Amino acid sequence: MPSRPIGVFDSGVGGLSVLRALRAELPHEDFVYLADSGFAPYGERDEAFVVARARAITHHLLHGEDQPIKALVMACNTATAAAIHLLRRDHPGLPIIGVEPALKPAVAASQTHHIGVMATRGTLASQKFKALLASLDGQAQFFCQPCDGLADAIEHNDTPNISALCARYLQAGGPFGVHPGEMDTLVLGCTHYPFARAQWQALLPAGVLIIDNGAPVARQARRVLTHHASEDHIGQITLRSTGDPDLLAQAASRWLGLTVSAQSRHL
């Protein structure tokens, strides 16, 4: 019997940054990626809406196709913060891996102990993020900047707007650099934001470290999986979108080098 796929979902194409890390860590696994682009962005929606979407998508990945998933990766900071505890309660037998802004790795890496965090408004307002921040009290100073519109600009590959928004939000944060009192580390707290890495790097002083959460999530997925695919198997990718499937396929081609068509889903 073939191994079942791992489900991955995000509000749009941003979770492809996590899928990229998952494929590198688990090359023999099959993945089903669902972009909820018809309802994006999550980061500027209320919590009840995000919870309802997370539940609908999880149900679809478990029951809506011939082959149900064996694990779920919530490749969205906003959805993780709002809904992971509820999904784990709803599906106690399903391994569910979430994402969170990589504050702990940033604390370990920073020399100045001043750290910038770029995230969606929904993530920054969540109780889960506030608890994470509180757990690191006294270990570093964090500047947390909501980045309204940035995920949507990345979703639509709007390069001029991406550059303008990155510049605006970095400027709002105060000095970045490697000297005392400057922020020497930037945490990308939305899975869309790594796809603007070139813009971030062009705007930041040399030596400032950029951290996202793709690799730690992939390592955690490997740890929690109870059944791994055979190493003789070549992992396959299935793409689905509740919005324009061509936009998802184009993003997967642009950022992951995948030549896979995407399927449309209404849920």
Please answer whether residues 18 and 79 qualify as being in contact, where contact means their C-beta atoms are separated by less than 8 angstroms: no
For 84-137, the pLDDT digits (tens) are 999 999 999 999 999 999 999 999 999 999 999 999 998 899 999 999 999 999
Q: Respond yes or no: is residue 76 known to be catalytic.
A: yes
What integer is the mean pLDDT of 159-188?
A: 96
pLDDT computed for residue 227 by the predictor: 82
pLDDT computed for residue 1 by the predictor: 44
Q: Respond yes or no: is residue 144 known to be catalytic.
A: no
The pair of structure tokens assigned to 25 is 């860590």
Closest CA to 235 of 71, 6, 70, 39: 6
Q: Beta strand pairing status for 209-211 and 262-264?
A: unpaired
For 6-60, the pLDDT digits (tens) are 999 999 999 999 999 999 999 999 999 999 999 988 877 889 999 999 999 999 9
Please answer whether residues 193 and 255 qualify as being in contact, where contact means their C-beta atoms are separated by less than 8 angstroms: no
In the set 144, 147, 166, 190, the catalytic residue is 190
pLDDT computed for residue 136 by the predictor: 97
Go through the domains of the chain in sequence order and give each one's CATH number. 6-99+215-264 (3.40.50.1860), 103-212 (3.40.50.1860)
In the set 76, 144, 147, 166, the catalytic residue is 76
